[in-house]
Chain A
Amino acid sequence: MSNKILVFIDQKNGKANQASWEALGAGLMLAGKLGGGVTALALGSGSQQVAAEALHYGADEALYCDDATLADYRAEPYASLVSSLARGAEAVLFPTTTAGREVAAMAAVDLDTGVMPDVTALEVEGGQIVATRPVYAGKLIAKTVCSAKPVMITTRIRAFAKPTADASRSGSPRAVAPAVSEADITTRVTGYTGSAGGVSLNDAAVIVSGGRGVSNNPKLSPPAGLDEKQAEIWRAQQGFRLVGDLASVLGGAVGASRAAVDAGYIPYEHQVGQTGKVVSPDLYIAAGISGAIQHQAGMRTSKVIVAINKDPEAPIFKMARFGVVGDLYEILPALTEALRKRLGK
């Protein structure tokens, strides 16, 4: 390969994992600093189309292999092909997906080089690539270097900017041959079962939580025949629907304060806090939650906290990165819409 940077585009059936484009962006940035071009590589069925897309995103060259041995993702044949193409490169970039991490690991073995998974930043210092990696669950930050080439790097999802696609950048992706034949592969994919399922609080990168305030919308008129308590719960359910809409646009989970759970608005499994779950998502949006200390105990380590509350004195604002003093019934739908637009959903 003549280019210095190879980027692995993780794709399935012609649809690239979006983080692949971020890896490509990181590759273009490195190439800019090191000189030389960027080769994108897509494997499996639909890979030709994705390779063409990689050219739009700025790759200088795009390779693909739509061989039957690569139709379903399998670590061994993928790694073998990546290693065979990566010889001579400075770096190979992957998105930190299941496939990206493991192909990087195996290709590093093949080429007797190093792997730096899940990096959040890349620099070039004196011709050497320096990667920033959070370690110890993000409690420390390591600057990491590799003395061998090509270095295998996987880029943390959402840590690098996605380049702008430009359909006028054209060229034709080039097909490459697989590195191994079916007879040499020891695994076989026999199918898929189930789905990824709903996002649980523990795993969620984004959590949108509602508190007592979600029932506080006098403008809503509940259906006739409900007593006061039933009407309150009905209002709360309308409020939690808005919380859920935002969570679903963000691929996140729905949380709640103890006050909301105790009032019967939402089941206990959603409770965040001292007596509920302790969570640490990248983004925590608290809507209508005052932020009592026991709630804080469950979410204070969230990376970015957004507070939406009518009461400007609510303690939640003290720990929030962003605060909105206002009515969640107006803010939440508007925010859902604004983010839906930006995230292309």
Chain B
Amino acid sequence: MKIVVCVKQVPDSAAKMTVENGQVSWGEAPLVINPWDEYAVEAALVQKEAHGGDVIAVSLGGESAKEALKHALAMGCSEAVLISDPALAGADSQAVAKALAAAIRKIGDVDLVTFGRQAIDGDMGVTAAQTARILGWPALTLVSRISQLDSSSRTIQVERSVEDGRQVVQGKLPAVISVVKDFGEPRYPSFMGIRKASRANIPTWGLGDLGLAAPVSVVSWPKVENPPAREIKTEIIAGSSAQEIAEQLADKLLAEKVL
């Protein structure tokens, strides 16, 4: 079984985000592996342990994204590859998916690709589906359980956490899955993994190595802002009866669009 897990480097979830001169900043906060991606690594490692084989971690980003890959290696991935190219700066989700798909093809003979449900920076949640579509492989997103994986019959069966419960879906391998929290807590890096990761020589693949022309990004964020500062002005709702108060409050809550 050859499994690829795609991981991203993002600012820590506790980071205070600000925008200065149009530039997004996370201050002194550390960059970490996208927390959802740790579940994807866990899912890949569990399958490797059950079926044998290798797990290759792939990330797209600058040099600092190697940290996310090292984390994946320390958790137990066998190899890691960084996709990095100046032409990918500001890449939109589809440009990223094209580069990931090209890397997956270059790795070759991949049976399964795992993703986290979304990255906590752009909060897009579309990369798994887009990568699958480009590869022409089934996309099984929001997987909470892999109930069956059979490399001889080349099938996978998963439970997907969807709005009205869990959908049981079968697909053919190779397949792309995205994993949700219910899959199970990701393991910590092991000391052996840490030793390996700290010495790993992580290759960098540019677009040339992937045989890819610079993908055109069509989606951009021309403006990023801090949300308007919310000054809490408490509005006391009063009325002659509980019903009157409740009616007023209900209208106001609907107007706040939180229901």
Interface residues in chain A, defined as those with a beta carbon under 8 Å from any beta carbon in chain B: 12, 17, 72-76, 79, 97-99, 101-102, 104-106, 108-110, 112-118, 133-148, 158-159, 186-196, 205-206, 250, 282-283, 303-307, 317-327, 330-331, 333-335, 337-339, 341-343
Q: In this assembly, does B213 line the interface, its C-beta being within 8 Å of a C-beta of chain A?
A: no
User: B249–A322 contact, CB under 8 A?
Assistant: yes
Q: Mark B110-149, 1 if CB is under 8 A from A, else 0.
A: 0000000000111111110110111001111110000000
Given contacts A114-B92, A186-B172, A339-B253, 10 further A-B contacts (CB under 8 A): A76-B138, A102-B141, A104-B126, A146-B219, A147-B219, A189-B169, A283-B258, A307-B234, A322-B252, A342-B254
User: B246–A105 contact, CB under 8 A?
Assistant: no
CA distance A319 to B232 in the complex (A): 6
Q: Mark B79-94, 1 if CB is under 8 A from A, else 0.
A: 0000000000000111
Which of B13, B120, B247 counts the most chain A CB atoms within 10 A?
A: B247
> Of the candidates A104, A144, A187, A205, which one forms a contact with B220 in the assembled complex, judged by CB atoms under 8 Å apart?
A144
CB A334 to nearest CB in B, in angstroms, measures: 3
The verdict on A187 contacting B169 (CB below 8 Å), with A108-B94, A110-B133, A326-B242 known, is yes
User: B134–A324 contact, CB under 8 A?
Assistant: no
User: A304–B121 contact, CB under 8 A?
Assistant: no
CA distance A141 to B126 in the complex (A): 19
User: A97–B163 contact, CB under 8 A?
Assistant: yes
User: A194–B165 contact, CB under 8 A?
Assistant: yes
Which of B16, B17, B221 counts the most chain A CB atoms within 10 A?
A: B221
Q: Mark B9-21, 1 if CB is under 8 A from A, else 0.
A: 0010101110100
Query: What are 5 A-B interface contacts by the 8 Å CB criterion?
Result: A98-B141, A109-B97, A109-B134, A138-B227, A187-B170
CA distance A148 to B226 in the complex (A): 27
> Of the candidates A98, A112, A141, A158, which one forms a contact with B258 in the assembled complex, judged by CB atoms under 8 Å apart?
A158
CA distance A17 to B166 in the complex (A): 17
User: B226–A141 contact, CB under 8 A?
Assistant: yes
Q: Which residue of A lies closest to B134 (CB)?
A: A109
User: B138–A137 contact, CB under 8 A?
Assistant: no
User: A324–B139 contact, CB under 8 A?
Assistant: no
The B208-252 residues at the A interface (CB cut-off 8 A) are 218-227, 232-238, 241-243, 245-247, 249-252
Q: Which residue of A lies closest to B227 (CB)?
A: A141
The verdict on A282 contacting B235 (CB below 8 Å), with A102-B126, A109-B130, A110-B133 known, is no
CB B31 to nearest CB in A, in angstroms, measures: 13
User: A115–B246 contact, CB under 8 A?
Assistant: no
User: B139–A331 contact, CB under 8 A?
Assistant: no
> Of the candidates B19, B122, B243, which one forms a contact with A334 in the assembled complex, judged by CB atoms under 8 Å apart?
B243
For the complex of A and B, list the 8 residue pairs with the smallest distance between their C-beta atoms, beginning with the closest: A334-B246, A105-B126, A114-B219, A338-B250, A330-B242, A105-B129, A148-B218, A282-B258
CB A46 to nearest CB in B, in angstroms, measures: 14
Q: Which residue of B lies closest to A134 (CB)?
A: B123
Q: Mark B186-226, 1 if CB is under 8 A from A, else 0.
A: 00000000000000000000000000000000111111111
Chain A residues in 8 Å Cβ range of B120: 136-137
Q: Which residue of B lies closest to A112 (CB)?
A: B94
CA distance A108 to B216 in the complex (A): 13
CB B242 to nearest CB in A, in angstroms, measures: 4
User: B224–A141 contact, CB under 8 A?
Assistant: yes
The verdict on A318 contacting B227 (CB below 8 Å), with A139-B16, A143-B221 known, is no
The verdict on A193 contacting B159 (CB below 8 Å), with A135-B224, A321-B256, A331-B242 known, is yes
User: A192–B167 contact, CB under 8 A?
Assistant: yes
Q: In this assembly, does B171 line the interface, its C-beta being within 8 Å of a C-beta of chain A?
A: yes
Chain B residues in 8 Å Cβ range of A104: 126
CB A285 to nearest CB in B, in angstroms, measures: 9
Q: In this assembly, does B78 line the interface, its C-beta being within 8 Å of a C-beta of chain A?
A: no
CA distance A342 to B256 in the complex (A): 14
Chain A residues in 8 Å Cβ range of B164: 12, 192, 195-196
The verdict on A75 contacting B256 (CB below 8 Å), with A324-B237, A338-B250 known, is no
Q: In this assembly, does B24 line the interface, its C-beta being within 8 Å of a C-beta of chain A?
A: yes
Q: Which residue of B lies closest to A108 (CB)?
A: B94
CA distance A112 to B141 in the complex (A): 21
User: A75–B141 contact, CB under 8 A?
Assistant: yes
CA distance A146 to B218 in the complex (A): 5
User: A250–B219 contact, CB under 8 A?
Assistant: no
CA distance A323 to B236 in the complex (A): 5
